């Protein structure tokens, strides 16, 4: 018997703009809710309470590997071939493959390793800020929040920084729900991205450099540690995850600070609050709405709810991070909040690999930005700002600011 779906509208612009009331209702009335995915094609479980979300993220009974599903179930969520050969990466893998893939790059992303990038990240941020006009207005995403992280991850991987606009356009297409259900643009974009990476990897194979891609190619050539398809998927994942989220950490951070002028002033007056301010931005308006997908391989009872075999389940990270059972006055944006055990970067085995890098970029970028732009303000009426649709990313379409 087909199970009912809850009528929560998670995908409308109203909800995207002001998601807290709906998530509060879900936590109260249906903390494990079966809703329809944005393209209305398939049922999807959304887990909205903090404790349940943490448990889900750590629950090994749910698989991340969509290729373990029956073909019919997989077709409900993904069209086979839709994203070519780009999906064989750690985020879609269970142990032992997950452990093997993650170990290949884990060392490059430890807090100590990324600390070495501090001077370079500072120099990139300073250059971008120097390129701004002395006064006027810009889209802060275009002028600063995007070029900073994409330059950092491109340099790490050795992919050409000058191709950043292509990476941005491709990523936006791949992470947005297909307009009118038309999968053609998605398929075309995946093919272009794949062809680009194949050409890039062939060039690097012929001419290795001192970069992460060359190190991965060396691992691939040893035979049993990384297949060619896994290598391409890894570089793809690092390009996409390495910029898209951090763009919105910086963008949402500026949005939250401009909405809370007293907190902005507090940060300007006490710059040492920057670390806890970044944690509060992650909690209050983190860039990831829901965790990535997990699936029940068989009928699975989760916190008293039966999740039928083959169905997708996600943790609502933004909702969990506003759960009053876990946070005092969660609706308050408090840059000195303590304790602040948010799950904006996930939890468990798939906890964000790039967390130290994302944090370092934000901790460097925001103070430099505030120092360079003492009169920073919204350039449009903030209620007219539009949020991007889709399951995954919580971020603005544009962020026009004046200074
Ligand atoms: C995984 C968030 C920045 C690389 C994750 C997950 C979250 C997340 C929530 C877990 C997904 C899940 O379990 O379903 C964020 C946020 C970021 C950020 C909010 C910025 C503020 C980065 C950066 C990188 C990165 C800069 C660059 C290396 C990854 C990778 C995974 C991951 C490779 C998969 C880890 C695994 O499967 O073991 N991220 N991320 N992320 N993130 Fe990030």
Alpha carbon of 343 to ligand 1 centroid (Å): 11
Q: What is the pTM of this model?
A: 0.97
Q: What does the DSSP 8-state code read for residue 397?
A: S
Best mutation site among 107, 149, 315, 352 for ligand 1 pocket (most ligand atoms within 8 Å of CB)? 352
Ligand 1 centroid – CA 282 distance (Å): 13
Q: 139: helix, coil or strand?
A: strand
Cα–Cα distance between 288 and 358 in angstroms, integer?
13
CATH tag, 13-402? 1.10.630.10
Q: Looking at residues 320-349, what average pLDDT do you find?
A: 98
- What is each CA distance from 61 to 187, 293, 295, 299, in whole angstroms? 31, 13, 9, 10
Per cent of the chain over pLDDT 70 is 98
- Count the neighbouring beta carbons within 10 Å of the beta carbon of residue 35: 19
Residue 99 contacts residue 106 (beta carbons within 8 Å): no
Beta strands in 65-183 (DSSP E): 137-139
pLDDT band at residue 80 using 50, 70 and 90 as cut-offs: very low
pLDDT for 247: 98
pLDDT score of 141: 98
Name the closest-CA residue to atom 2, ligand 1.
345
- Average pLDDT rounded to a whole number, residues 86-100: 96
- Closest residue by CA, ligand 1 atom 6: 352
Distance in Å, CA 364 to ligand 1 centroid: 19
Going 200 to 86 to 283 to 339, the CA torsion angle's sign is: negative
Residue nearest to atom 41 of ligand 1 (CA): 354
HSE-up of 369 (CA within 13 Å, CB side)?
27
Quick check: CB of 344 below 6 Å from ligand 1?
Answer: yes
**Residue 1 pLDDT class (50, 70, 90 cuts):** low
Three-state secondary structure call for residue 345: coil
Mean pLDDT over each residue of the chain, to the nearest integer: 94
Which numbered atom of ligand 1 lies nearest the CA of 64? Answer: 14
Rounded to the nearest angstrom, the distance between the alpha carbon of 243 and the centre of ligand 1 is 10
| Model confidence pLDDT, tens digit, residues 273-297 | 999 999 999 999 999 999 999 999 9
In this prediction, residue 149 has a pLDDT band, given cuts at 50, 70 and 90, of: very high
Q: Is 167 in the pocket of ligand 1 (CB under 6 A)?
A: no
What are the domain boundaries of the chain?
13-402
The mean pLDDT value for 26-46 works out to 89
Q: At what angle do helices 274-285 and 355-372 cross, to 10 degrees?
A: 110
Structure tokens at 88: 């064989």
3-state secondary structure of 144: helix
Atom of ligand 1 at shortest range from CA of 287? 19
Q: What is the H or E stretch that residue 371 is in?
A: helix 355-372
pLDDT at 152 over 80: yes
Q: Which atom of ligand 1 is nearest to the CA of 237?
A: 33
- Nearest one of 360, 42, 17 to 181, comparing CA atoms: 42
State residue 225's pLDDT score: 86
- Tell me the average pLDDT across 46-55: 98
pLDDT, residue 12, reads 84
Indicate which atom in ligand 1 lies nearest the CA of residue 317.
9
The answer to ipTM > 0.95 is yes
CA atoms within 13 A on the CB side of 112: 2
Instruction: Give the ligand 1 atom nearest the CA of 315.
Output: 14
Pocket of ligand 1 contains residue 241 by CB under 6 Å: yes
249 CB within 6 A, ligand 1: yes
Nearest to 37 by CA among 2, 11, 74, 71: 11
CA distance 370 to 255: 13
Please give the distance, rounded to the nearest whole angstrom, from the Cα atom of residue 242 to the centre of ligand 1: 8
Of 172-181, 304-313, 393-402, which range is least confident?
172-181
Q: What is the pLDDT of residue 40?
A: 66
- Alpha-carbon distance of 317 to 337, in angstroms, equals 18
Question: Given this model, what pLDDT does residue 387 score?
Answer: 93
Report d(CA 148, CA 166) in Å as an integer.
Answer: 15
What DSSP element (H or E) covers 63? strand 62-63
């Amino acid at each position: 018997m087909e199970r009912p779906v809850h009528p929560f509208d998670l995908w409308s612009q109203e909800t995207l703009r002001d998601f807290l009331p709906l998530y509060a209702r879900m936590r109260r009335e249906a903390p494990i809710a079966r809703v329809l995915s944005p393209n209305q094609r398939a049922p999807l479980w959304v887990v909205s309470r903090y404790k349940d979300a943490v448990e889900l993220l750590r629950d090994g009974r749910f698989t991340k590997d969509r290729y373990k599903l029956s073909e019919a179930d997989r077709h409900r969520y993904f069209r086979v071939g839709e994203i070519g050969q780009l999906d064989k990466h750690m985020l879609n893998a269970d142990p032992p493959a997950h452990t093997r893939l993650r170990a290949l790059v884990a060392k490059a992303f430890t807090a100590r390793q990324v600390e070495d990038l501090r001077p370079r990240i500072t120099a990139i941020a300073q250059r971008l800020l120097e390129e701004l006009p002395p006064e006027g207005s810009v889209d802060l995403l275009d002028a600063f929040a995007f070029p900073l992280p994409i330059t950092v991850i491109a340099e790490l991987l050795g992919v050409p920084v000058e191709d950043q606009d292509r990476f941005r356009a491709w990523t936006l297409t791949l992470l947005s729900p297909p307009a009118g259900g038309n999968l053609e643009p998605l398929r075309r974009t995946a093919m272009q991205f794949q062809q680009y990476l194949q050409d890039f990897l062939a060039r690097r194979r012929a001419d290795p450099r001192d970069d992460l891609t060359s190190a991965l190619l060396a691992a691939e050539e040893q035979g049993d540690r990384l297949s060619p398809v896994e290598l391409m998927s890894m570089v793809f994942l690092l390009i996409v995850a390495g910029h898209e989220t951090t763009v919105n950490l910086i963008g949402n951070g500026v949005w939250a600070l401009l909405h809370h002028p007293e907190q902005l002033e507090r940060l300007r007056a006490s710059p040492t609050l920057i670390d806890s301010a970044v944690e509060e931005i992650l909690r209050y308006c983190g860039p990831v709405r829901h965790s990535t997908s997990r699936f029940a391989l068989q009928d699975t009872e989760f916190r008293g709810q039966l999740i039928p075999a083959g169905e997708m389940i996600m943790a609502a990270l933004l909702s969990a991070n506003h759960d009053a059972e876990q946070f005092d006055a969660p609706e308050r944006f408090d840059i000195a909040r303590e304790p602040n055990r948010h799950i904006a970067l996930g939890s468990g085995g798939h906890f964000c690999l790039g967390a130290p890098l994302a944090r370092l970029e934000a901790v460097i970028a925001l103070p430099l930005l505030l120092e360079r732009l003492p009169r920073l303000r919204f350039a449009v009426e903030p209620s007219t700002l539009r949020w991007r649709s889709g399951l995954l990313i919580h971020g603005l379409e544009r962020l026009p600011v004046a200074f």
